[in-house]
Structures are given as C-alpha cells and as structure tokens.
Structure 1
C-alpha cells in the first residue's frame, strides 16, 4: 500500500483519473507540459482543413498546436504526408462515394447532385476572369522608359566620345 502512495522518487503518486473522471497526465506534479497525444478527431479536422486549402499555420491553430508540433504528431509518416498532399482529392472521393450510395438507395436529390459534380469535373476548371487592361502611360513615363532603355543599350560613352553623331572614327 505504501508504494501506491508515493512514487519511486518519493513524490506522491497520482491516480490515473481525477475526481471528475478526466484522465491525469503521467507527469502530473512535475515540470513541463505533457506531450500532445494525437487523436483521430484532430487528424480528421486537419484533413478537412487541408482539403479546403488552408495553410499549415491555420490548420495547426485550429487544433491548438504549433506548426512543428502538428508536423511531428500528425504528419510524420509517409501515409499521412500523402493524405495531407491529396486531402482535397480524398474529400472529393469520399463525397462522390456517399452521393453514389444515396443515389443507389433511391434518393433523387443525391442523384442530381452527383450528376452535377460529374458534369463539373468533365468541364474542367472554371475559367478565370481576364486581367484588367493596364493603364496607358503618360508622356513623362514614356520618356523616362525610353531614356532607361537607351541607357541599357549603350555600350559605353557612345556618341559623346565621337563627335560625328555616333559614327566611329577610323583608327
């Protein structure tokens, strides 16, 4: 009974659960924070967020971790890194599978949504808006640019050394 009251180093040994039934970390009463324990729920949140094209910082903040801690605990294995890279395709596949199952079960709204998604995928990416026309340069800007271009093309002192308007003098 005495070994249950105190730990190996003479400190009090803690029960695995507190009075409310919540688990107590192994380093209770010692210095430092307990190490993060990855959960399937947090991994699912991360896949959803990466599927929505969120940044790593936003995803880490959503589960209350730093970016390095998120990488360490959730994306250390190659399978999870692959899931992170292809999260949008995984989510799209899962959605299509569910819509297909509902469509087979006879739900017409699911069939309509499935057909719309398939038509959208056949059409390809939506066209982006054309860039706006650039504003015409003023006279001063055109002259400044012309002077800049002339200065870049000049290979030295040019016409300033030759008194004949840029024609080279014979040696």
Structure 2
C-alpha cells in the first residue's frame, strides 16, 4: 500500500498505471459503510454494487465484516446507544430524548413485539384493539339517554322510581 491518495481521498494502489486493472484497496470508510449496510439488512450483491466492486472482491476484502452479518444490527444499535449516552452525560437535552427513544425501542425489541408499553406483563392483551360500539344518531342517542335517567338529581331519581314502578306491574 502507498500513501498516495486520489482526488476522492481513496488510496492509489501500487500497480496504478501498470498492466491490468488496479487492485481494490479497502478503506476504513468502506469498512464502516459495509458494516452499516449489513446492519440495514442489505444483501451482498447490493453492498457490492454500492461499493462498485464485484462479489469476489467484496468477499476478499470485507470477509471479516461479512462474517458478523448476524450481529451487525446489534453492533449498530450499541454504537447509537453509546453516542446518545455520551450526550446524556454532557447534559444535552436532545440526546436525553433520543436515549429515551432508543431505550423504548430496545424494550419493544426485548418483548419481540411492537406496541407493548414499557413494563407491561407478557400476557397483556393491550395490543388487541377493542371492538367499536355501534354509532348512534342524535335521536337514538337521546332516546337511550331518556331511558337512563341521572339518579344524582331529584328529577332523575323521580324518573327512575317511575320506570321501576312501571316495570313491576
């Protein structure tokens, strides 16, 4: 390897200008890019296309990153949590908010489901939506309200007694 860099900041291989195509030189930026794309769930073919390299070149130079595909997302999440935690330690309010959001997302991931509140028991059915009640029109709602008088008032108590007396006959 050499200390020469092209206009884009990529290192120039030692055989540049010689016979054949110059060999790909992996950079730390490209290694980080591969790790991030693996964490996002990209396929090897898609990563190779993004780096503008062939599949054999990807496997040759980035094999150590590719073998950790299964834990790439966890490593990315851990890195985000650490950066947010550094901001929390410095008292950054937006970092505190972001750290809370990341913790909530982590808790949801631990439950294996989305939408479960923090600290909810495993058997909780809070994810299920309750059945909607039939919507009544104005007149039907007024009739239903008239059948159920407010017993907290004198008039409501009188109406309740009359309804009970009418059903007892």
Normalising by structure 2, we get a TM-score of 0.54
Which blocks of at least 5 consecutive residues in structure 2 are unaligned?
Answer: 116-169
Q: 2:43 aligned with 1:58, yes or no?
A: no
After superposition, give the CA deviation of every residue in 1:116-148 in whole Å (9 maximum; x if it has no partner). Answer: 221222233327xxxxxxxxxxxxxxxxxxxxx
1:41 maps to which residue? 29
Q: 1:56 Cα shift?
A: 0.8
Q: CA RMSD of the aligned region, Å?
A: 2.8
Report the equivalent of 2:84.
99
TM-score (ref. length: structure 1): 0.54
- State how far apart, in whole Å, the 1-side matches of 2:27 and 2:11 are: 15
Is it true that 1:87 corresponds to 2:62 in the alignment? no
Q: Equivalents in 2 of 1:114, 1:122: separation in Å?
A: 12
Aligned equivalents of 1:29, 1:82: Cα separation in 2: 33
CA 1:106–1:68: 2 relative to 1, 3 Å: same
Q: Is the 8 A contact 1:83 1:90 kept in 2?
A: no
Aligned length: 107
Aligned residue in 1 for 2:15 = 27
Q: Measure, in 1, the Cα distance between the counterparts of 2:51 and 2:98.
A: 32
Give the gaps of 5 or more residues in structure 1. Answer: 1-15, 128-171
